[in-house]
Amino acid sequence: MVTQITSFGRSGLYDWMMQRVSAVVLSLYTVFIIGYLLVNPELTYEQWSALFEATWMRVFSLMVLLSIGMHSWIGLWSISTDYIKATGARFFFQSLCGFVMFVYVVWGVQVLWGL
């Protein structure tokens, strides 16, 4: 029996909703970046740097970073609970995924905000 203790949300419906919301955020960011690159074919480092110096872009990028973590955690949790039946192996896999996602989020915050 798999418990909800390692799930991201309180219920399956909450996880499903968070998965959809994070997918929308990721899609909007992808469309924006592709559009920005298409509108600026001769993009320079200064333009790219200025884009990411803007607070709204940093906040948008942080939202994307957190959405990636949330989206991947829910997906990997679902996969691991469905396909890894041994409790120890599942715990190890989920712990490793959680640790890697935590490191990526902290690293991303440092890159975005220079902390």
Position 27 in a domain? yes
Cα-to-chain-centroid distance, residue 77: 14
Q: Are 62 and 23 in contact (CB under 8 A)?
A: no
Half-sphere CA count of 39, side-chain side, radius 13 A: 8
pLDDT tens digits in sequence order for the chain, 115 residues long = 555 555 555 678 888 899 999 999 999 999 999 999 999 999 999 999 999 999 999 999 999 999 999 999 999 999 999 999 999 999 999 999 999 999 999 999 999 988 7
The pTM is what? 0.82
Overall number of domains in the chain: 1
Is residue 14 a known part of a binding site?
Answer: no
Position 6 in a domain? no
Is residue 29 a known part of a binding site?
Answer: no
Q: What is the CATH number of the domain that holds 37?
A: 1.20.1300.10
